[in-house]
Chains A and B, each alone.
Chain A
Amino acid sequence: MKECYLGIDIGSISTKGVIIDENNNIITSSYIWTEGNPVNAVKKLINILKKDLSSEYIIKGIGTTGSARKLIGLMLKANIVKNEITAHAVGTLTFYKDARTILEIGGQDSKIILLKNGIITNYAMNTLCAAGTGSFLSSQAKRLGIEVKDFGKYALKSKNPVKIAARCTVFAESDLVHKAQIGYKKEDIIAGLCKSVVLNYLNNVGKGKKIEGPVIFQGGVSKNEGVVKYFKEILNQDIIVDPNSHLMGAIGIAVLARKNKNGNTYSLKVDDIKFDTKPSECNLCSNNCELLRIYRNGTLVDSWGSKCGRY
């Protein structure tokens, strides 16, 4: 029997899963849409992963990260639940030991992580605004009538990217509509959009951070060749995009699950797990906390949202 570890990164847009062996080699991986239902997405994901896993492997650890990490952690009884910043850094460091900067743009958030000698020295994450993240790009792709995955190819065709206001999604969008209506070519507009994502990122998240090489770019948006091109151009240095760049968070949390293993063996039979959440409002004081009670196979496992700790 060989040991293996499951890492799941449940993001706002997509859910990523990976199974690694003792030496951090990827045995199988998958990438599906979350579609607003993390519990179902994870069940689907695990069923896909299970197919490619030969019976000689046993799962000795499960880790969850991403915005639904707590919920899925409870569902799978994960042995480690960690935030995505740590997971991404650990994942990247597994493959790039001398990485100095990680640029990450996901569906709803973007972050920058600075590293030195294999440890995180500083990080930043976008705060109030989702401008320049994956969901912005995909909504604009819909507006222009092309697939998100072709976005990068279009951008590379352009010779004269248009200038698009980079500060704010709303302004960027009205700028884009205006440029389209006065007759700019589609590829020029798309290239301009990619450039504005880069500028927005560097002005917001990357503000005041010294970006030193090797620079690793990951997250869903790293699959967009146009954005990669403008990062290279504007930062004036080489940008590494790993073929598994979209899986780095999942790999990182799988590595952490391996490091924190406690001897338990986990099964991947998820279809039988009955996992329910019951929302309610506590009216005992004027805080009116929104409570969420989590039931696993009918028994209460946790409740969230209480400010006073009564529940």
Chain B
Amino acid sequence: MINIAFPQMGDYYVPANYLLSHIFKANVIKAPKITSKTIELGTKNSPEFICTPFKYTLGTMIECLDKKANILIQMGGGCRYGYYANLQEKILQDLGYEFKMINLVTKGDTNFRRINKLFKQIDPKYSKLKTIYYGFISLKMVKYMDKIDDYIRQNIGFEQKKGSFENLKAEMLIKFSKVKSYIELKKLYNKYLKRFKNIKTHKPDKPLKIGIIGELYTLMEPFSNYYLEKQLAQNNIEIKRFTNVHYLLFEKSKKLKKYLKNNEYVKYNMGADASDNINHCKYLCENGYDGIIHIKSSFCTPEIGAMPIINKIASKYEVPILFFSFDSATSETGIKTRLEAFYDMLEMRKRN
């Protein structure tokens, strides 16, 4: 029996699960929600100074292997992320687990011939046609989810009935996971978008607006940023975030080229999302955002390189910026104090 598992990030397990369970005759193990135990397992078996997402995903993988997973899927990116799969495979083998690690992306580009080879290792009889069809639906699902999330971030801070956005989103994700065709998915998306827009809010004309930039995993997995967006929303703040899976897969490469052409702050790709974030910081400063929060996991090298430039841009435009570095041993109280002070400061500036 094939048991596939993959580390999770935010709500993206829904499309990933959808894709895998449709193209393989396999059992897809849903990774358990990240908890303190996940982090403990990950931290215990990771090199100490590795970035935090490594620890989170390693912890999830161990939990999945304990649930009898025998195929693990990991991705890679343009920084240390590119070495995650190999290193985690080695660590898990040393721990005595038996499994196959499938590394979907290397060197930042997806090679379809290689993926075909890898997929054949999972299931020699897998259908390419099915993969293309369900792959298309899954990617559309990612796009729709990201669009809905953008809308939620702008409005959740002002909902009249607490929890109305979250509950509707949970309902939507369940419906999404059961769609049979692309047409059905599109209809569902339109229906839910309308329902989201019908949720009553008390949004003022000029609310406080904060842009969140930084390293991708910490941005997208709420457990790893201590539910930062939720905490901001509780203070009636509109949130803007650029990084999501759709951006990383389809928009990033095109937009980055454009950014680098006419930007006085950065001329070349600094690895991972560092150059993107510099540009996003400039965008937020020029478009009337009241504050910027930059988050990363500790030891994230590309973001460390971007931080002085981001700081320079923010001080030139006189937009306050708050930097957070999250580790597996970060004090939650410290985060709350700084966030509260940041919010007070923005409020004071806005009033004057």
Task: Give A contacts to B, CB under 8 Å.
Answer: 67, 82-86, 117-123, 125, 127, 208, 210, 285-289
Task: Report Cα–Cα, A280/B300, bound state, in Å.
Answer: 36
Given contacts A85-B337, A121-B349, contact A287 B36 (CB under 8 A): yes
Report Cα–Cα, A85/B337, bound state, in Å.
8
Chain B, interface size category, equals 20 to 34
Q: Ordered nearest first, which 8 A-B pairs have the shortest CB separation?
A: A85-B341, A286-B37, A287-B35, A120-B345, A86-B344, A286-B35, A83-B340, A119-B348
Task: Add 13 more A-B contacts to A120-B345, A286-B36 (CB < 8 A).
Answer: A85-B344, A85-B345, A119-B349, A120-B348, A121-B349, A122-B315, A122-B345, A125-B334, A208-B315, A210-B315, A286-B37, A288-B35, A288-B36
Out of A67, A83, A119, A285, name the residue touching B341 (CB < 8 Å): A83
A151 to B338 alpha-carbon distance, docked (Å) = 31
Does B352 interact with chain A (Cβ within 8 Å)? Answer: yes
Interface flag for B320 (CB, 8 Å): yes
Contact A67 B348 (CB under 8 A): no
B315, B338, B352: the one contacting A119 at CB < 8 Å is: B352
A67-B333, A121-B318 known; A285-B349 Cβ under 8 A: no
A36 → B minimal CB distance (Å): 16
Chain A min CB distance to B66 (Å) = 12
29 A-B pairs within 8 Å (CB atoms) are namely A67-B333, A82-B344, A83-B341, A83-B344, A84-B337, A85-B337, A85-B338, A85-B341, A118-B352, A119-B348, A119-B349, A120-B349, A121-B318, A121-B320, A121-B345, A121-B349, A122-B320, A122-B345, A125-B334, A125-B337, A127-B334, A208-B308, A208-B311, A208-B315, A285-B33, A285-B35, A287-B36, A288-B36, A288-B37
Closest residue of B by beta carbon distance from A85: B341
> Does B325 make an interface contact (CB < 8 A)?
yes
- Chain B, residues 168-211, CB within 8 Å of chain A (1/0): the string is 00000000000000000000000000000000000000000000
B341 touches A86 (CB 8 A): yes
> Which of B37, B338, B348, B349 has a CB less than 8 Å from the CB of A287?
B37
Given contacts A122-B320, A287-B37, contact A83 B337 (CB under 8 A): yes
Most chain A CB within a 10 A radius of its CB, from B315, B341, B344 = B341
Report which B residues bind A (CB closer than 8 A). Answer: 32-33, 35-38, 308, 311, 315, 318, 320-321, 325, 333-334, 337-338, 340-341, 344-345, 348-349, 352
Residue of A nearest to B340 (CB): A83
Whether the pair B345, A123 counts as a contact (CB closer than 8 A) is: yes
- With A83-B341, A123-B345, A127-B325 already in contact, the answer to whether A117 and B36 are too (CB < 8 A) is no
Q: Which residue of B lies closest to A208 (CB)?
A: B311
**What is the distance, in angstroms, from B65's C-beta to the closest C-beta of chain A?**
16
Q: Which residue of A lies closest to B307 (CB)?
A: A208
CA distance A84 to B338 in the complex (A): 10
User: Nearest chain-A residue to B329 (Cβ)?
Assistant: A128
Q: Shortest distance in angstroms between A81's beta carbon and chain B's nearest beta carbon?
A: 10
How far is B36's CA from A289's CA once the two chains are assembled, in angstroms? Answer: 8
Q: Name which of A67, A118, A123, A210 has the most chain B CB atoms within 10 A of its CB.
A: A123
A203 to chain B, nearest CB (A): 15
Neighbouring B residues of A288 by C-beta, 8 Å: 35-37
Report Cα–Cα, A127/B327, bound state, in Å: 12
Question: Whose C-beta in chain B lies nearest to the C-beta of A286?
Answer: B37
CB distance from A116 to the nearest CB of B (A): 9
Contacts of B311 in A (CB 8 A): 208
B33 partner residues in chain A, CB cutoff 8 A: 285
Looking across the interface, which residue of chain A has its beta carbon closest to that of B337?
A: A83
A-side contacts of B320, CB under 8 Å = 121-122
Instruction: Tell me the minimal C-beta distance from A293 to chain B in angstroms.
Output: 18
Q: Which residues of A contact B352 (CB under 8 A)?
A: 117-119
What's the minimum C-beta distance from A174 to chain B, rounded to whole angstroms? Answer: 22
Q: Report the bound CA distance from A211 to B12 in whole Å.
A: 45
